[in-house]
Amino acid sequence: MPNQPEMSPATKELLKKVRMIVPPMLEKFHKGMLGRVAVIGGSENYTGAPYFSAMASARLGADLSHVICTPPAANVIKTYSPNLMVHPLMRESPSHSTPSTLASPVIAMLAHLHSLVIGPGLGRDDLMQDTVAEVISAARDKKVPLVLDADALWLIQRRPELVKGYKECVLTPNVVEFGRLAQAVGLDTKGDTGKEGCKALANALGGVMVVRKGGVDWISDGSDDWTVVGDGQGGRKRSGGQGDTLTGSIGTLLAWRNMYLEGAWDTEGNMGRQETLMLAAFGGSAITRECSRLAFGKRGRSLQASDLTDEVPVAFETLIGEKEESKL
């Protein structure tokens, strides 16, 4: 048993609520019910990020974890793990295909997904960005929960209307990305990237859930009720790729949230859509910070993103724990 993390009373109470949206593993559930999550990302230069996101989703407990990427990235990502389903549907410029044509098979997958993560390893190629814009619009129409990070946030900086007012959407900017988003919507936070700044950006975007990553993670949909802080202890190494564990974890928790809201088991708490959206974001933050703490304790300054992946199930057990109904 790893040494236990230090937690504030508020964090302990929130984790109890996160546990409520985690489904037990019951014999009546069939393949796919415990989470069908896809990650759109992965391009010629970036293959690690979508893998780390999708693997975090899988290691947290999603039944099916997909990566939707370009053909060169697919060939590489397939060698990383046979546990992921990799779809080479995206294209970078130059290409004879249009964004609408490329988005069509991805949009067809939406009916079979519980949540969609967009951005890890996406890059800023115009064709990739325009294709993703089409997918976001379709996902919004179909009410598929979204997690947007990295270069998907670059898209939102230029086209904030894509997500404005969509309350099934989680954005996960770091401090720099947060500042760019604030500027894009004409918001002067006066350098405040903490609680009030996070609330202001969420409000400016019409109530989307913002997770502002940093020394602590501020999480808000713009309201006082669902503004919380992820203050769990993390590691001190800031290697690239740790945010991908966050997006994948939130993706799985959003899938479980869907089951909770549908009453797929004997649920408790009678919580609504906004509260459970906040809890999915908070839970992802808490798990990622605990993965970082555990990995840093073992690896120190040599810590890499892959070390967090290995700690996902340990962090889950430490912070949330398995339900009795799931045990043999």
pLDDT tens sequence for the chain (328 residues): 567 898 999 999 999 999 999 999 999 999 999 999 999 999 999 999 999 999 999 999 999 999 999 999 999 999 999 999 999 999 999 999 999 999 999 999 999 999 999 999 999 999 999 999 999 999 999 999 999 999 999 999 999 999 999 999 999 999 999 999 999 999 987 777 799 999 999 999 999 999 999 999 999 999 999 999 999 999 999 888 899 999 999 999 999 999 999 999 999 989 999 999 999 999 999 999 999 999 999 999 999 999 999 999 999 999 999 988 888 7
Q: Where are the beta strands (DSSP E) in the chain?
A: 36-40, 64-68, 85-87, 115-118, 146-148, 169-171, 209-212, 217-220, 228-230
Per-residue CA distances from 239 to 75, 291, 307 (Å): 25, 13, 11
Per-residue CA distances from 285 to 226, 232, 303 (Å): 15, 8, 18
**pTM, entire model:** 0.97
Per-residue CA distances from 324 to 15, 24, 162, 171, 265 (Å): 17, 8, 42, 33, 14
Residue 27 burial (CB count, 10 A)? 6
- Distance CA(65)–CA(109), nearest Å, equals 13
